[in-house]
Amino acid sequence: MSPDPRPEIPVPGFLFIHGWGGDQEEDLGHAEELARLGCICLTFDLRGHAESGANKEQVTRQDSLNDVLAAYDYLASQPLVDGHAIGVVGTSYGGYLAMLLTANRPVRWLAMRVPA
């Protein structure tokens, strides 16, 4: 009988927040590395970036924070994710948003790459 390929649950979750003018592509490599270690990772595009269809010049800080809150809540709601073990990695503007997120949601690990 082969070993069960499913991870032991729950596992840590990691949310990646890209910088202003960026997109989730910049985080995929790091997310894949953590996923290989058994974590559940979520990357996404902020409103007004990449193919979102919104004009980033009209996006407010609150719009961006709302996107981050929704992404966090989605990740935390996944059945394999340990809600007490969620990390956030923010790059540049994403680091700023990650810091704001900590005032609204529990974050166990916080990494800010070149925070704005």
- What is the per-residue pLDDT across 22-76, written as a single tens digit (0 to 9) for each? 999 999 999 999 999 999 999 999 998 776 565 767 889 999 999 999 999 999 9
CA–CA distance, 37 with 94 (Å, rounded to integer): 23
Average pLDDT over residues 77-96: 96
pLDDT confidence of residue 18:
95
Over the chain, what is the mean pLDDT?
90
Q: Quote the CA–CA distance of 49 and 64 in Å, as a whole number.
A: 10
What is the share, in percent, of the chain residues with pLDDT greater than 90?
77
Smallest Cα–Cα separation from 71: which of 20, 3, 17, 4? Answer: 17
Beta pairing class for 11-17 and 40-42: parallel
Tell whether the model's pLDDT for residue 3 goes beyond 80. no
Which pLDDT band holds residue 4 (cuts at 50, 70, 90)? low
pTM here?
0.88
- For residues 3 and 37, the model is more confident at 37
Ordered by where they begin, the domains of the chain are 11-83+90-113 (3.40.50.1820)
